[in-house]
């Protein structure tokens, strides 16, 4: 899961980035994560790839900046993304707001807001997820959860059904092999002694700590060995608030 792997690769929600899929996880109870969004992305090269994301307002989804594309369709209310359900809401993205400082080489500031063409209808299967306040600096040692439709094996396919896994926030030195890692901007996530992580296809999905979205799946190693790097949401609250206010 170094940088390029996390760009747009495969076809489903989180298959795309090298931090894409859930490895070592379990299937979620259907619609128990109503904020989850599946992104189908048409790249500038006309490839169809997928990412994860999550609903933070009725008309805004938060995801990773490396999930940008020419055209994005968001599916809300999904559990099995291959089988259409009555709970689905498919919405077009009319504007993409990648962070102005996003760097494709270092994958720093890997965060993006997506404005939807229409407001989502809030139902039992579709809901919003709270964000942390600006100075809520979540510390290493916490157990959190991440969900996505990414790969369940390094060389496997993306998952049809939403998967989730519990991961521990690690000390920053556990991510020192990522040369661009910055503890103020990012979270180091996943015990290196355990085979549990987000992987290709999970990019853009939320890291939940005590019911609050603290991180966004960004990137990891190609062999899916944890820890992986997640964008630290609290650092970007002022920017998020500005975009929401102006749009």
Kindly list the catalytic residues.
66, 110, 203
Contact between 55 and 125 under an 8 Å Cβ cutoff? The reply is no
Question: Phi and psi for 91 in degrees, rounded to 5?
Answer: -130, 140
Dihedral over Cα of 231, 25, 211, 62: its sign: positive
CA distance linking residue 92 with residue 156, whole number of Å: 29
Secondary structure of 43-88 in HEC code, one letter for each residue: CCCCCEEEEEEEEEECCEEEECHHHCCCEEEEEECCCECCCCCCCC
| Beta-sheet strand order (sheet of 228-232) | 26-27, 163-168, 143-148, 206-209, 212-219, 228-232, 186-189
Q: What share of the chain is helix, strand, coil (3-state, %, to 5)?
A: 10, 35, 55
**Which 3 state secondary structure label does DSSP give 173?**
helix
Question: What are the distances in angstroms from CA 227 to CA 57, 152, 172, 177?
Answer: 30, 16, 10, 10
Nearest-angstrom CA–CA distance, 41 and 224: 23
């Amino acid at each position: 899961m170094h940088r390029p792997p996390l760009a747009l690769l495969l076809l489903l929600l989180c298959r795309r980035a090298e931090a894409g899929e859930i490895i070592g996880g379990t299937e979620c109870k259907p619609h128990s994560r109503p904020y989850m969004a599946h992104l189908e992305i048409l790249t500038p090269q006309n490839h169809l790839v997928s990412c994860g994301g999550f609903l933070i307002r009725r008309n805004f989804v938060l995801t990773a900046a490396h999930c940008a594309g020419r055209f994005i369709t968001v599916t809300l209310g999904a559990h099995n993304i291959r089988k259409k359900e009555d709970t689905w809401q498919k919405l077009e993205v009319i504007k993409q707001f990648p962070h102005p400082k996003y760097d494709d080489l270092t994958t720093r500031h890997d965060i993006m807001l997506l404005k939807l063409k229409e407001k989502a209808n809030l139902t039992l299967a579709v809901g919003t997820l709270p964000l942390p306040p600006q100075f809520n600096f979540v510390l290493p040692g916490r157990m959190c959860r991440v969900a996505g439709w990414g790969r369940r094996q390094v060389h496997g396919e993306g998952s049809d059904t939403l998967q989730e896994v519990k991961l521990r926030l690690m000390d920053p030195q556990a991510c020192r092999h990522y040369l661009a890692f910055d503890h103020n901007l990012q979270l180091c996530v996943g015990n290196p002694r355990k085979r549990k992580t987000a992987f290709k296809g999970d990019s853009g999905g939320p890291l939940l700590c005590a019911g609050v979205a603290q991180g966004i799946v960004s990137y990891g190693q190609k062999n899916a060995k944890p820890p992986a790097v997640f964008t630290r949401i609290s650092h970007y609250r002022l920017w998020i608030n500005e975009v929401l206010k102006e749009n």
